[in-house]
Amino acid sequence: MMGTQAMEMDHTGVKGGLLIGGTWRDAPRCIANRSPSDIDDVIGEFALGDAADVEEALHAARTALKTWGRSNPQWRADILRRTGDILLREAGRLGRILAREEGKLLVEARGEVMRAVQIFYYFSGECLRPPGQFLPSVRDGFNVTVAREPVGVVAAITPWNFPIAIPAWKTAGALAFGNTVVLKPSEITPASAAIMADALAEAGLPDGVFNLIGGLGADIGTALIRGADAVSFTGSGPTGRIVLMEAARAMKKVQLELGGKSPIVVLADADLDLAIDNAIDGAFRQTGQRCTASSRIVVEAAIHDEFAERMAARVAALKVGHALEDGHDMGPVTTEAQLAKNIAFVGEAQGEGAELLCGGHALERRTRGHFFAPALFAGTDNAMRLNREEVFGPVAGIIKVGDLDEAIAVAADTEYGLSAAICTRNLTAAEKFRREVPSGMVVINGSTSGSDYHAPFGGRRGSGYGIREQGNAAAEFFTEIKTTYFNHALAPLGAGGGVKF
C-alpha cells in the first residue's frame, strides 16, 4: 500500500523531504509547501537537508550500487513497470497534489502525472535493450565487444515547473541502466517527488538505490555534485553554469537542461487559426512556465496586424483562476517572486516602447494566490530585454518581419537554442527553417512546447550542455563505454599481419 511516509494525497499534511537508505527522516529545519492558488492552503511540511545528509545519501547510493549495478535487467524492468502502475493507480489524487503545489490546472497536472507513468513504462523496456556492439577485430584471433556499464551514482537536480515528469525521466533513465540516484527536487514543489519515492519503494526498489534530499541548493549543492559520479541538472542558466564549473572541477560527467527564448514564426501563408492556437499554447499554457515557451512570436508583415488583433482578443479572453476549479484557462504563477518578475518585465517593455495589447497585471481572486493576467505585446524588436531574456511566465512579444529570411535571422539571434516553430503551408520554407535555425528541437505547424518521451530532448548554446535527455540519448549519459578485446584463438598479439597499437 502506498504511504511509507504518510503520503496523504488530500488536503491534510503531506510530509517528506529526506529519504536516505530507504528510511524517511526528520530534520531540524522544515519548509511549508504552500499552494500558489491559495497561500493559506499548506500541502505539508518538508524537511530540509544539509551537507551531512547529502554525504549519508551518497554513501547509501554507493553501497546499493554494488548490487543494483550488476542486477538482472528483468528485475529492474519489473520494478520500473510496477512504479508506473502505482503512479497510474494514484493518478487522480497525485494530480490534485501536483496542481495544488505547482499551480498548473488540474487537467495539466493530471497530464503530467500520466507523462511520468509513460516514462516509467518506456524505461522499463529500455532495461532489456542496452546498446552494445560486437566487432570483428583487425587482429587475427581477436573479437571486440563494446558494452555499456552504469556511470555510477547520479545526482539529479530538478526544477519546480514539472515536479514529477522531470524527476521521473531522470530517475527512471538512471535506474534502467543500473545506476543509483540521489534526487534533489525543488524546495518549492517537493510533494510530487516524495510521492514518486514512495511509489518506487512500493514497487520493490531496494533500499539505498533511490534517495531524496530536500533542501536549498546553496546548502547542499556542492556536496551533492562533488560526491556523485554524474550530475543531471534542469534549471536556470546562471545556476547551470555554477553546476557546470563545480562538476568540471571534480571531473564529473554533467548534463544541463537550461532556459530558452523559443521563437514561433508565422508566415503569410499560414493557417491563421492554427498559428494563433499554437502561439497561445506555447506562450500561455501552464502559465508560460516552460523552458520551451513561445515567448517570441515572429510574424510576417503581410499578416501582422490581423494576427496581432486576433491573438490579443484570444489572450484577453483567457480565464485565470484557482488550479483546482473548472472553467479556467490558466492557473496562478507558482511563486510570489515569479509574479513580481513578470510585472517587472511588463513595465520595462513598456518603458522600451513596446505596445501592451492586453494583460500584464496582478489579479484579485477569491483566494489569496499569485494570479496574473497574461500579457501580449506588439511593436517589439529583438533588441528589447523582453525578447532577450527568459521571463518564465505568461508574457510574450510579437516581432514584425519582412520575409522568411528575416524571420530566420531573428529566430537565430539569441543566446538560447532550445525549441523553435514555424507555421506555414510551404514545405520549402519549412525545410529551410528546419535547416538554418540553430535549435535543438524544431516544430512545423505546432507549438514550441511539448515533446515525446521516447525522443531526445534538449537544446544548444545557452539552452543546454552535454548529452541530451530522454529517448535513446539517455543511454549515452547514464552509461559508460567499455571496450573489450577477446583473444579467442590464443594467438600472439599482432599475429597474421594485423596492426598492433
Q: Whole-angstrom Cα distance, residue 433 to residue 300?
A: 14
How is the beta sheet containing 464-465 ordered, strand by strand?
23-24, 18-20, 210-213, 180-184, 153-157, 230-234, 253-257, 464-465
Q: Whole-angstrom Cα distance, residue 390 to residue 290?
A: 10
Annotated active-site positions, please? 257, 291
Stretch (H or E) spanning 100: helix 91-102
Cell of 139: 587482429
Instruction: Count Cβ atoms below 10 Å from residue 207 Cβ, excluding itself.
Output: 15
Q: Whole-angstrom Cα distance, residue 362 to residue 339?
A: 8
Q: Whole-angstrom Cα distance, residue 286 to residue 448?
A: 13
- Report how far apart, in Å, the C-alpha atoms of 115 and of each of 154, 256, 330, 405, 422 are: 22, 21, 20, 37, 25
Give the end-to-end CA distance of the chain in Å, rounded to a whole number. Answer: 58
- Report how far apart, in Å, the C-alpha atoms of 14 and of each of 35, 88, 134, 210 are: 13, 19, 50, 20
Cell of 28: 531540524
Q: Whole-angstrom Cα distance, residue 71 to residue 75?
A: 7
